[in-house]
């Protein structure tokens, strides 16, 4: 391919991050700014009898003390099941009971400690299975509309049924069934949560936010403003953001509280979380208890798959409760299986609630499906990798969920892993070393979860021939600014270094659904292609109109300066038709005569000419486009082609288990990924490395330990995020089938690589020592306990 | 608002005078890697912090067969000392794997011992080395054996007005091997689930145990010596079998707790394994020391 920019490993464009110049929410101060602090519940489930704020109000420097009793009762959240400040009842330790705005953080902190809350304890329920029982304490007595609730089960009937599972069972030669558990893990962004809320003179809210969904966030805040009685609207500004991994997808409670404090004080109010608060009061990944049953015929073809999930929803509802919409993709479509039954039940408990996290339910679902695949392969007496090859998805097929698979190199990924991990020699030894695999599929071409899955873009070419791109997307660290430049340079014909990007202001930027679902590159790339085509056409059009006069003026000037200069013979007619012209790398020239120095000039010259015509009929080179892809929303049966394309991949892991301590070491890790086309191979590998390490942490070390609703390890010492010293030797393999619907053939790669790590590791542990750990994380303690149990059973 | 006064005396004597002046209202701070964490968590709220940072009097490593270490010596300085690496590898094992380089650049051995956490990484090595702790106050000096120094989690024999000036370690017997093993969930920034230090001195046959010292971290309310296991090994030929038995005995002597960092049964299990493995490293090291 003769591309100049796409497919090349351009270094990251956002160098201000490593020079310390980037301003994060922590760095931003505005005049008259106050600091907000939140007082959280000290009980998991209790009635609030009284809140005494008098001492806090008297403290010097305090400007406002708010509770559910002196603020409007406005419901927020996706099911409207909470108010920003809890009035009558607390349902979890992170419940926001009061909030303070003060002139500095220390005073705000001290003021919260002066607030006295009187509680009357209620019986709590922490186990989702207990919570489903008829006599369990009710976490919510009423729903958002005030109707009495009879139990703790959420009105979210997640269900996907296709084919006939009973028939599938009858056709099976082998069936396996087992239950697996995953727990809470946190996104642990380097940059913690924070915002600044301020009202302008017209009572419009200006909200500096770390969101990766600026327009969705604006909608939610606009509705909140209306509900507290304001007719104004919101402008969202996003600074540099230190990671999201899903955590910045919903508008969080502290953000509504900041708005209330800003409105009350008529001053800008900043709330910034510390690491402790980040762990205790920002929602992590959804835990799940999953029972999976599947079967295959005597040749190893899958006959049916049935998965039942119970999700501990915690006390309120955020996006965690919607992750079954994505779980249904691997459950129904990872490998070829026609008969599917998937159900997920979300249950209120007095635990913390969950949000989105990289993979959006896929890590949990793949964890159970891929372990069950190994169990079934063993039952059928087939090598687990061959078993996956037998059942691997094929390109251009439709799954029972009505997912339309386009390009699909799953078999190739499995083969890459098989060779590179030396499967033939390493598998099946049971000598303390073992290998395991797991595959995945994930949306790779957007995800229509709202009526629109669109992204708007505006381009303008300015005087010096530089291109400004204005987009509604956000960057939370994934490198968008680099790949946007690469794709825009390729598509528009302007130079990479002449492209600048404006994002992060809902007042300026065109509308976008949000940077989620691994969609940014796919969406912005397609929007760039649409918009750049218009820009090219305009430049060629201007070229056809003005190149001749510019060239003639040049030639005349040369002739005046150099009497010996002989003007070349030029066939001017070739310049008259814009179709004869082309733009590339900042220059405009004749397509069939690109080397002719007389018929070639910088784009800036024609654009400048158009601006400075001197006739009163000047023109600009601007264009806009809105790319809304041809994918579908999931229908009432849970079916539909939610994405334009799907990305596949396989991870293979070799582990060594210390049978005396239960510790394990990863000796080799191969991550083969279908990315359609790598726009920037270095950034693709960065995504794969980072996500696979995150997935390894999910598999081995990370867990939020909850004891009776309280997070016991809200710090980075006891929340075992892997460190640089724990680095895993990852061999990232990029497979490029060139996706027709993707920009330059690309699919999304933001989330996928954290999906298959945990099951691949669990399968490798089984191969090494013959015990299967059915709970995450796979701690040395669990491994040793399982080994001991096996020994005892063996006797 | 929570504040404190930060005083930075120029000598140990001045620090002692300040300690006398402020009594229980004061807290000593060396590297601050424990003190500041505890202050933030509101575990302590002293009115005055008396800093020992950069006091040259407290920061030294003196080697002459035995070893003297100033209480204000940073873990990083110990880690980089060739004498310690060569002659007291058990200390090197502990300090080179403590926290991170940043923490080791700030944190001191005195702070680690005086903080008296059951998980303190330098405690088991100092215990097997029969270290003496030198304590100063305006009234004079006293010396306490490290075995007697710890009184409970976060509790030591130090009285108000006292500070630790140095650790004095006698020269090990000839043909001695020593090592420390730290069992963790990850490779950096982690406290031990269990820490095991072993020191074995051999007779001339390099087999018979002349002296055994075994110390355990996170195995009891304070870092402890496993006296029964030591007694078992003394005079016996050291090999896999006797070390295995010593591990079992040490594990029985231990009384670890179940916490979020590990279950009691698992800690006992690891003690059993690590005593044996660390003992084997000692044998190797003793042979190496005898050869050179
Ligand atoms: C991120 C992180 C990781 C860590 N990892 C480890 C680890 O892996 N292993 C480990 O063991 N510890 C670890 N720690 C704990 C800590 O770093 C060590 O205990 C360190 O040695 C403390 O030394 P310091 O000089 O910072 O002590 P400080 O915090 O200054 O003081 C600690 C205590 O000792 C007292 N004190 C200090 N000097 C004297 C003296 N001369 N006389 C009397 N009292 C004194 C202080 O009053 C205080 O009570 C870690 C800490 C952090 C923050």
Residues A517, A523, A526: CA angle, nearest 5 degrees: 155
What SS3 class is residue B30?
coil
* Cα A770 to Cα A454: distance, rounded to the nearest angstrom: 48
Measured in whole angstroms, the distance separating CA A698 from the mean position of its chain's CA atoms is 16
Q: Please state whether beta strands A116-121 and A194-199 pair in parallel, antiparallel, or not at all (unpaired).
A: unpaired
Whole-number Å distance, alpha carbon B279 to ligand 1 midpoint, is 28
Q: Stretch A783-788: mean pLDDT, rounded?
A: 98
Torsion sign over Cα A671, A677, A681, A683:
negative
Is the pTM of the predicted complex or chain greater than 0.95?
A: yes
Could you state, in order of their start, the residue ranges of all structural domains in chain B? 5-51, 56-169, 176-291
User: Whose CA is closest to atom 25 on ligand 1?
Assistant: B31
Whole-number Å distance, alpha carbon A194 to ligand 1 midpoint, is 31
Residue A378 half-sphere exposure, CB side, CA atoms within 13 Å? 16
Q: Which CATH number fits domain B56-169: 3.30.420.10, 3.30.465.10, 3.40.50.970, 3.40.50.300?
A: 3.30.465.10
* Closest C-alpha to A487, from A467, A507, A502: A467
* Closest C-alpha to A304, from A342, A343, A340: A340
Looking at beta carbons, which residues of chain A come within 8 Å of B269?
Answer: 660-661, 784
* Cα B206 to Cα B176: distance, rounded to the nearest angstrom: 9
DSSP per position, A65-98: EEETTSS----BSTT--B-SS-SSEE-STT-EEE
User: Cβ(B71) to ligand 1 under 6 A?
Assistant: yes
From B103, B126, B135, B153, the mutation candidate for ligand 1 (largest count of ligand atoms within 8 A of CB) is B103
Looking at beta carbons, which residues of chain B come within 8 Å of A716?
Answer: 189
Give the residue carrying structure tokens 């910034």.
Answer: A272
The β-bridge partners of B64 are: B66
- Cβ distance of A725 and B2 shorter than 8 Å: no
* Cα A738 to Cα A677: distance, rounded to the nearest angstrom: 5
Q: What is the pLDDT of residues A360-379, one digit of tens each?
A: 999 999 999 999 999 999 99
Chain A residues interacting with chain B (CB cutoff of 8 angstroms): 106-107, 110, 660-661, 663, 701, 705, 707, 712-713, 716-718, 720, 722-726, 779-781, 784-785
DSSP state of A634: -
What SS3 class is residue A583?
strand
Alpha helical stretches, state H, B60-100: 75-79, 82-87, 89-95
Q: Stretch A342-369: mean pLDDT, rounded?
A: 98
Q: Which CATH number fits domain B5-51: 3.30.43.10, 3.20.20.10, 3.90.1150.220, 3.40.50.300?
A: 3.30.43.10
Radius of gyration of chain A (CA): 29
- Cβ distance of A720 and B190 shorter than 8 Å: yes
DSSP per position, A498-559: GEEEE-SBTTTSPPB--S-TT-HHHHHHHHHHHHHHHHHHHHHHHHHHHHHHHHHHHHHHHH
* Closest C-alpha to A653, from A786, A763, A747, A512: A763
What SS3 class is residue A471?
strand
B185 touches chain A (CB under 8 A): yes
Whole-number Å distance, alpha carbon B28 to ligand 1 midpoint, is 11
CA distances from A578 to A536, A540, A589, A602 (A): 10, 5, 10, 16
Q: Stretch A773-786: mean pLDDT, rounded?
A: 98
DSSP state of A107: H
Q: What is the pLDDT of residues B36-60, one digit of tens each?
A: 999 999 999 999 999 999 899 999 9
Looking at beta carbons, which residues of chain A come within 8 Å of B186?
Answer: 701, 720, 722-723, 725-726
Q: Where does the pLDDT of residue A795 fall: very low under 50, low under 70, confident under 90, or very high at 90 and above? A: low
**Other Cβ atoms within 10 Å of A755 Cβ, number:** 33
User: Which residue in the set A107, A110, A723 is minimally distant from B189, CB to CB?
Assistant: A723
**Other Cβ atoms within 10 Å of A780 Cβ, number:** 23
Q: Where does the pLDDT of residue A33 fall: very low under 50, low under 70, confident under 90, or very high at 90 and above? A: very high
Q: Please state whether beta strands B48-51 and B5-7 pair in parallel, antiparallel, or not at all (unpaired).
A: parallel
Q: Are B102 and B93 in contact (CB under 8 A)?
A: no
Q: What is the pLDDT of residues A614-623, one digit of tens each?
A: 888 999 999 9
Q: Please state whether beta strands A339-348 and A302-314 pair in parallel, antiparallel, or not at all (unpaired).
A: parallel
Question: Dihedral of the CA atoms A727, A733, A739, A742 (nearest 10)?
Answer: 30
Give the residue carrying structure tokens 């099951």.
Answer: A759
User: Cβ(B110) to ligand 1 under 6 A?
Assistant: yes
What SS3 class is residue B5?
strand
State which residues of chain B have pLDDT below 70.
1, 292
User: Whose CA is closest to atom 49 on ligand 1?
Assistant: B115
User: Which residue in the set B1, B100, B186 is minimally distant from A701, CB to CB?
Assistant: B186
User: Whose CA is closest to atom 6 on ligand 1?
Assistant: B99
Give the residue carrying structure tokens 């251009």.
Answer: A396
Interface test with B, best of A183, A277, A723, A728 (most B CBs within 10 A): A723
Give this complex's ipTM.
0.96
- Cβ distance of B188 and A701 shorter than 8 Å: no
B264 touches chain A (CB under 8 A): no
DSSP state of A148: B
Residues A491, A492, A496: CA angle, nearest 5 degrees: 90
* Cα A630 to Cα A448: distance, rounded to the nearest angstrom: 9
Is A16 a residue whose pLDDT tops 70? yes
Tokens of B111: 């702070």
Element (H, E) at A433: strand A433-443
Could you give all domains of chain A from N- to C-terminal order, each with its CATH number? Answer: 25-122+192-241+248-281 (3.90.1170.50), 288-449+633-793 (3.30.365.10), 455-471+481-627 (3.30.365.10)
Measured in whole angstroms, the distance separating CA A240 from the mean position of its chain's CA atoms is 16
DSSP per position, A307-329: EEEEEEEESS-SGGGGTHHHHHH
Measured in angstroms, the CA of A108 and the nearest CA of chain B are apart by 10
User: Cβ(B43) to ligand 1 under 6 A?
Assistant: no
User: Cβ(B55) to ligand 1 under 6 A?
Assistant: no
Average pLDDT, chain A: 97
The β-bridge partners of B144 are: B133
B260 touches chain A (CB under 8 A): yes
* Cα A421 to Cα A414: distance, rounded to the nearest angstrom: 11
- Cβ distance of A784 and B273 shorter than 8 Å: no
Assigned architecture for domain B176-291: 2-Layer Sandwich (3.30)
Burial B210-224 (b: 16+ CB within 10 A, else e): bbbbbbbbbbbbbbb
- Cβ distance of B191 and A717 shorter than 8 Å: yes
């Amino acid at each position: 391919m003769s591309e100049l920019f796409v497919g090349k490993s351009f270094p990251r464009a956002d160098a201000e991050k490593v020079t310390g110049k980037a301003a994060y929410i922590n760095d931003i101060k505005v005049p008259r700014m106050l600091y907000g602090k939140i007082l959280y519940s000290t009980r998991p489930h209790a009635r609030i009898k009284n809140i005494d704020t008098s001492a806090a109000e008297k403290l010097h420097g305090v400007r406002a003390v708010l509770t559910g009793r002196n603020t409007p009762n406005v419901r927020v959240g996706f099911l409207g099941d909470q108010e920003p400040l809890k009035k009558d009842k607390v349902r979890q330790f992170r419940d926001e009971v009061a909030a303070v705005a003060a002139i500095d953080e220390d005073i705000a902190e001290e003021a919260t400690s002066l607030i006295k809350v009187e509680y009357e304890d209620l019986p709590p329920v922490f186990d989702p299975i207990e919570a489903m029982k008829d006599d369990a304490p009710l976490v919510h007595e009423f729903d958002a509309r005030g109707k009495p609730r009879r139990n703790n089960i959420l009105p979210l009937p997640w269900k996907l049924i296709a084919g006939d599972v009973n028939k599938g069972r009858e056709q099976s030669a082998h069936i396996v069934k087992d239950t697996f558990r995953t727990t809470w893990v946190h996104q642990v962004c380097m940059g913690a949560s924070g915002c600044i809320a301020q009202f302008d003179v017209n009572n419009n809210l200006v909200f500096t936010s770390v969101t990766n969904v600026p327009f969705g966030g604006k909608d939610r805040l606009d509705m909140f403003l209306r509900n507290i009685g304001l007719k104004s609207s919101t402008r969202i500004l996003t600074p540099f953001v230190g990671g999201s991994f899903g955590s910045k997808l919903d508008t969080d409670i502290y953000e509504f509280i900041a708005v209330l404090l800003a409105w009350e004080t008529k001053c800008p109010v900043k709330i910034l979380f510390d690491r402790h608060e980040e762990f205790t009061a920002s929602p992590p990944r959804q835990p799940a208890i999953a029972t999976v049953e599947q079967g295959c015929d005597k040749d190893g073809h899958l006959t049916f798959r049935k998965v039942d999930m119970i999700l501990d929803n915690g006390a309120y509802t955020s996006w965690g409760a919607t992750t079954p919409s994505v779980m249904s993709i691997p459950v129904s479509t990872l490998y070829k299986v026609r008969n599917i039954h998937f159900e997920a039940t979300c249950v209120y408990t007095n635990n913390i609630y969950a949000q989105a996290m990289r993979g959006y339910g896929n890590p949990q679902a793949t964890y159970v499906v891929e372990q069950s695949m190994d169990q079934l392969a063993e039952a059928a007496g087939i090598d687990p990798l061959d078993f996956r090859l037998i059942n691997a998805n094929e390109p251009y097929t439709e799954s029972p969920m009505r997912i339309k698979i386009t390009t699909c190199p799953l078999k190739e990924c499995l083969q890459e892993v098989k060779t590179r991990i030396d499967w033939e020699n390493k598998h099946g030894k049971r000598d303390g070393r073992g290998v395991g695999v797991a595959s995945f599929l994930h949306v790779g071409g957007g995800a229509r979860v709202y009526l629109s899955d669109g992204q708007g873009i505006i381009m303008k070419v300015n005087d010096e021939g530089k291109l400004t791109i204005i987009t509604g997307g956000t960057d939370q660290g994934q490198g968008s600014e680099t790949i946007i430049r690469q794709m825009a340079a390729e598509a528009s014909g302007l130079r990479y270094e002449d492209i600048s990007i404006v994002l992060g202001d809902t007042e300026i930027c065109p509308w976008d659904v949000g940077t989620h679902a691994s969609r940014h590159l796919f969406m912005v790339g397609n929007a760039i292609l649409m918009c750049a085509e218009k820009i090219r056409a305009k430049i060629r059009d201007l070229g056809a109109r003005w190149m001749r006069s510019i060239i003639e003026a040049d030639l005349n000037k040369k002739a005046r300066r150099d009497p010996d200069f002989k003007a070349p013979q030029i066939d001017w007619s070739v310049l008259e038709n814009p179709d004869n012209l082309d733009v590339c790398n900042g220059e405009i020239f004749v397509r069939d005569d690109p080397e002719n120095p007389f018929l070639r000039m910088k784009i800036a010259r024609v654009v400048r000419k158009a601006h400075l015509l001197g006739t009163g009929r000047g023109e600009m080179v601007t264009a806009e486009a809105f790319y809304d892809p041809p994918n579908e929303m999931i229908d009432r049966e849970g079916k539909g082609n939610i994405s334009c394309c799907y990305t596949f991949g396989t991870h293979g892991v070799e582990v060594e288990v210390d049978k005396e301590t239960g510790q394990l070491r990863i000796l080799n890790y191969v991550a083969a990924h279908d990315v359609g086309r790598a726009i920037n191979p270095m950034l693709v590998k960065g995504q794969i490395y980072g996500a696979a390490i995150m997935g390894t942490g999910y598999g081995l070390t990370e867990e939020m330990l909850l004891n009776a609703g309280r997070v016991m390890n809200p710090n980075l010492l006891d929340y075992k995020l892997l460190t640089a010293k724990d680095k895993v030797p990852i061999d990232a393999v990029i497979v490029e089938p060139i996706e027709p619907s993707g920009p330059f053939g690309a699919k999304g790669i933001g989330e996928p690589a954290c999906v298959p790590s945990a099951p691949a590791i669990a399968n490798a542990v089984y191969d090494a020592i013959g015990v299967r750990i059915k709970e995450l994380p796979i701690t040395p303690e669990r491994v040793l306990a399982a080994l001991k149990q096996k020994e005892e059973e063996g006797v | 608002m929570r504040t404190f006064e930060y005083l930075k005396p120029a000598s140990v004597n001045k620090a002692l005078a300040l300690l006398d002046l402020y009594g229980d209202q004061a807290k000593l701070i060396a590297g601050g890697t424990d003190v500041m964490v505890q202050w933030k968590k509101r575990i302590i709220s002293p009115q005055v912090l008396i800093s020992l940072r950069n006091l040259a009097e407290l920061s030294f490593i003196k080697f002459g067969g035995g070893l003297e270490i100033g209480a204000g010596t940073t873990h990083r300085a110990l880690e980089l000392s060739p004498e310690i690496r060569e002659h007291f590898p058990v200390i090197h094992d502990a300090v080179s794997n403590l926290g991170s380089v940043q923490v080791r650049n700030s944190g001191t051995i005195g702070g680690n011992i005086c903080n008296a956490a059951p998980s303190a990484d330098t405690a088991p090595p100092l215990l097997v080395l029969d270290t003496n702790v030198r304590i100063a106050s305006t009234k004079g000096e006293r010396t306490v054996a490290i075995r007697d120094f710890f009184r409970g989690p976060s509790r030591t024999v130090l009285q108000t007005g006292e500070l630790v000036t140095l650790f004095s370690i006698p020269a090990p017997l000839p043909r001695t091997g020593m090592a420390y093993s730290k069992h963790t969930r990850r490779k950096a920034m982690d406290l031990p689930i269990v820490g095991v230090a072993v020191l074995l001195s051999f007779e001339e046959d390099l087999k018979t145990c002349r002296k055994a010292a075994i110390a355990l971290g996170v195995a009891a309310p304070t870092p402890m010596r496993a006296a029964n296991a030591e007694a078992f090994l003394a005079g016996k030929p050291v090999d896999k079998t006797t070390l295995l038995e010593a591990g079992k005995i040490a594990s029985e002597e231990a009384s670890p707790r179940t916490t979020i960092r590990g279950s009691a049964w698992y800690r006992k299990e690891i003690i059993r394994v690590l005593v044996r493995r660390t003992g084997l490293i000692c044998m190797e090291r003793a042979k190496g020391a005898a050869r050179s």
